[in-house]
Structure 1
Amino acid sequence: MFSIGGAYVYRLAVAPEGSEDWTIEGRKGGTLTDLWGVCSSSDAFTATMFMQWDDDDCYYKADKSAFASFYPTDRHRQFALRELRAHVCATLAGPIASQIHEGEEHIYVDEGEYSRTDDITKAQGMARLLYWRNEYDYLAELTEQTLRRPDVWAMVLCLADELERIGDMDDEQLSGFLPGEVPNWPPSPRAKPIHIEALRIAPLETTAA
């Protein structure tokens, strides 16, 4: 989902089955703990600059006015908003994909674990920087619809199988397992829908070869 939205994925890694103390070195240094999987992608700088974690209430505060005033022109602002929407979708993709894989018909993204590392909580915080009401619900539905596309889901499964096999994939190993960027995706809730054309399913070709 990061790739569809235009972000660059540097690495994917998952903990070995049965591991109780898995750690991994972060892309910018430091050791990451208490995680069972990592997706290292290009940063959502538009979000992190204007979000602050509240330890008392366990949620991300968002400074929407500062975000809006940071960009000098409407063109810059619209680009930043699209990038931010893409990161909300990508952050929600993990929890949503897990529920799809488990056969859930109704996807739940209303409540996370209320920790600063929880994907649903992070996505909700980023969505507070957006303009229109109910953007979070809209982006969650758009993410689910995209993941349920047969060609997209086929790529998810192929990537998951390879990741399960080797455990840690860098950007070179990910080549061919991720789709290209879909221009101007995701659209604003008030824009005309952008139809994703059938994606090249390179993983299936690679596996067959």
Structure 2
Amino acid sequence: MCQDRISHNTRHHFRGIIKGRKISMFSFFGIVAAVVFILRNQEIKDFIDKFFIRSDAASSGRIDIWKLGLDIYTDGNLLWGSGFYTALDIAKNKGLEVNQFHNFFVETLINGGLFELVLVLASLVYTLYAVVKSQKLNKDIKNIYFFSLIALTVLLCVESVSFYGLGFVETVNAIVFITIPLLMSNSSDLNISFNSTTRVQ
């Protein structure tokens, strides 16, 4: 009886592995076929370039804005920054036409200096560490958070996103990427898994 059950579980396990590999291979070849199709179709390439890549706009002036921001930072207080309104006034006097520097790292250095940048990054690193080391969260949840952080990092490079402030965006970012993950990773009763259905025990 016990051997039959072990044999059944083993067959079921290997069937799951084979099925997963088939799905992965199908997905891989599907992506390759789609890429080849796009590369061979000039109309689709032009559409993607016009509405998504926007090569005519290039960096949309962001590189010049970043250089201006770094100049303001190096001329100010490296540890504590110059403060948001002071830095923005300086930038406006030097020709900045927008109200942000379109880069989280540059804007944080300008406003709060190296201290604020280290504080925010340390918060995110600690949250990631807590999620990875948590015994309460399964692999699916951890992967979701990890890839969300990757997407967030890309966004931080081209937009001024903050985590500590009184604004709506700052509050949402702090809740989604810091508060909720820390609460979930430290919960003693939470057990979340993604199978055929999501269940909470």
Name the TM-score class by shorter chain: under 0.3
* TM-score normalised by structure 1 residue count: 0.25
Task: Tell me which structure has the larger Cα radius of gyration.
Answer: 2
